[in-house]
Each structure stands twice: as C-alpha cells, then as structure tokens.
C-alpha cells in the first residue's frame, strides 16, 4: 500500500480515555489469533486495564514474542503465548488447561483466529475454501468448546471477531464471508444457550482497520476507486479508516460492567461504512 487513499485515524492510543484504571484487575482473558494486529490490540488494552492474558497463535515463537511485548504495558502483568492451531481441538484443550494452571481462571474469551486470502470462487480449490472455514468457523467452535468449562465457573464473556462483508456480499471473499456468517450464527446461538448460565456471547465486526494485514492485502489487490480517494465519506461516513484502538474500545465496553446486559449482538465497528454499500 503506497499510502492511505482514505485517511488513517490520527490517534494511535491503546483505547479512548473513557475507562477507569484497573477495571479488569483479577480477570483473565484467553484470545486466539492473539498475535495478530487487531487481537493483540484488544488484549493489550485489557491487560493495561488490569487483566492477565493467554494468547494463542499458530507461530509459537512469534506468539511468545507478542505476549512478552503485551506484558510490558503494565508492570506486574502476566501474558502467556502458546503455539497452537485452532483446527486442533485436542491441542486447544491442553492450552486451556495450561492457562488455568498458570493464571487460575478464564473470564473473557476472544475468538479471533482467522485465515484469509483474496480469491475468486473459480480460483479456490475445495481445500482452499475448507481451509478458511476450518480456521475461522470450526476453529471458533473448537475454542469455545475448550473454554466452556472455565467460562461456566466464572460466568464469563465471549467475543467473536467477525466482519461485515457477509452483510452485503463482497467479491473475492466467498470463503471468509461464509465462515464469518457462520461465526455470527454460532455466537447468536450461544447467547441463548449460555445466557441462563450467566455467560454472554457477542460479535465485534470490524470494518476497514488501518495498518492490518487483511486491509493491506485488500487494498494491494483491489485498490481504492478514484472517486473514493477524492470523497472518502462515500465509502465511510466518518471519512477515514478505523484504528485498532477503536476495536479495543468496543472490546473493553462489552467485557466491562457497562456491557453486562448486552448478549447476542453484533457490534459493528466501521464508522458506518457497510451501510454506504461501498465498504471494502
């Protein structure tokens, strides 16, 4: 990407100044995809507000490095990095057990692990479509199943990181659109099934978030139409891409006491973009 065709947000903070310090003291977050840009931003924000964390990524060394970086955000924080593929249900069970052994509990679950690439339907093999379904949808299911015994003990909260392209349809994204539609459906079902146990389940659907791998790939492949460069509000009513910190703010809200009665929603964090019909 040569430079922002639609302006980047000017701030690059962890989160807004809306939150009190230590609101998550004593809480533990378990996050898949935790070494990625958006999810590491979510975890960093929660840890800075008092939580400890376990993050899961496919590349063990990289995940441990990101965990160590996140831990620096608050003196005394513990952040563990695990190498684990969310397609491996047994491995997830082991990682959850190790998390509870080291951190004592799991209060918050973020299912953020995702795989994606841009391709036409004709460019996809059956295995290519299945691979994205397996990582994004089956992986989310595996993660919830592994964490559920712990979430029942803490009356925990679940957030799935989804997307908006399946609301309207989006070229080159059939596999990930189908997977994310399934993720939304999984969350809505869990909200009803687990609500009586005091567990909430919600979706955060980020739009175009600046400085992420997915966004850079998308712009590199499809570009941004010339008229949108001249008039960003045609694509996004707020006239800019989102920031990782703005996804973190939504996460803090849903996990905070202020979010205690919110269950079964998809909270779209896109500046109103998808409603324009021009969203990427």
Give residues in contact with ligand HXC (CB under 6 A).
114-117, 119, 123-125, 127-128, 131-132, 135, 163, 176, 213-215, 218, 280
Output the smallest distance, CB 121 to ligand HXC, in A: 10
State the angle between helix axes of 139-154 and 89-103 in degrees (0 to 180), rounded to the nearest 10.
30
Q: Which is nearer to ligand HXC, 185 or 258 (CB)?
A: 185
**266 three-state secondary structure:** strand
Cβ 172 to ligand HXC shortest distance, Å: 9
- Residue 139 or residue 156: which is nearer to ligand HXC going by CB? 139
Closer to ligand HXC by CB, 135 or 146: give it: 135
User: 245 near 41, Cβ under 8 Å?
Assistant: yes
Number of H helices, E strands in the chain: 10, 7
> Do residues 32 and 111 touch, judged by C-beta distance below 8 A?
yes
**Closest listed residue to residue 162, CA positions, set 191, 138, 136:** 136
Residue length, the chain?
Answer: 280
Shortest distance in whole angstroms from residue 36 CB to ligand HXC: 7
Exactly one of 40, 119, 162, 201 is catalytic; which is it?
162
d(CA 29, CA 14): 17
Annotated active-site residue 180? The verdict is yes
| Alpha helices (H) along the chain | 37-48, 60-71, 89-103, 126-133, 139-154, 165-168, 174-194, 213-222, 226-230, 244-255
> Catalytic one among 48, 64, 177, 180?
180
Closer to ligand HXC by Cβ: residue 130 or 260: 130
Q: What is the DSSP string of 65-90?
A: HHHHHHHTTSTT--EEEEE--TT-HH
Q: Which is nearer to ligand HXC, 164 or 245 (by Cβ)?
A: 164
Kindly state the smallest distance separating residue 124's Cβ from ligand HXC, in Å. 6
- Minimum distance of ligand HXC from residue 52's CB (angstroms): 26
Q: How far is CA 191 from CA 20, 71, 95, 167, 265, in A?
A: 27, 31, 24, 20, 9
- To the query of whether residue 5 is one of the catalytic residues in this protein, the response is no
- Give me the active site residues, please: 162, 180
């Amino acid at each position: 990407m040569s430079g922002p065709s639609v302006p980047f947000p000017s701030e690059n903070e962890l989160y807004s100044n809306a939150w009190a310090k230590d609101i998550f003291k004593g809480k533990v977050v378990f996050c898949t995809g935790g070494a990625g840009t958006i999810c590491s931003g979510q975890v960093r924000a929660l840890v800075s507000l008092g939580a400890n964390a376990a993050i899961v990524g496919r590349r063990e060394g990289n995940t441990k490095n990101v965990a160590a970086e996140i831990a620096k955000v608050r003196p005394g924080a513990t952040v563990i990095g695990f190498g684990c593929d969310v397609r491996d249900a047994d491995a997830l069970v082991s990682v959850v057990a190790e998390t509870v052994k080291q951190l004592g509990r799991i209060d918050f679950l973020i299912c953020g692990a995702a795989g994606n690439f841009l391709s036409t339907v004709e460019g996809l093999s059956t295995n290519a479509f299945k691979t994205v379904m397996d990582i994004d949808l089956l992986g989310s299911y595996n993660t919830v199943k592994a964490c559920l015994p712990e979430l029942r003990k803490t009356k925990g909260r679940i957030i799935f990181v989804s997307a908006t392209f399946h609301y309207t349809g989006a070229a080159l994204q059939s596999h990930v659109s189908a997977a994310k539609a399934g993720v939304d459906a999984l969350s809505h079902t869990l909200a009803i099934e687990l609500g009586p146990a005091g567990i909430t389940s919600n979706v955060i659907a980020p739009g175009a978030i600046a400085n992420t791998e997915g966004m850079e790939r998308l712009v590199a492949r499809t570009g941004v139409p010339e008229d949108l460069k001249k008039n960003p509000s045609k694509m996004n009513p707020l006239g800019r891409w989102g920031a990782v910190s703005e996804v973190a703010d939504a996460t803090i809200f849903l996990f905070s006491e202020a979010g205690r009665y919110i269950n079964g929603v998809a909270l779209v964090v896109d500046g109103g973009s998808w409603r324009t019909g021009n969203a990427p």
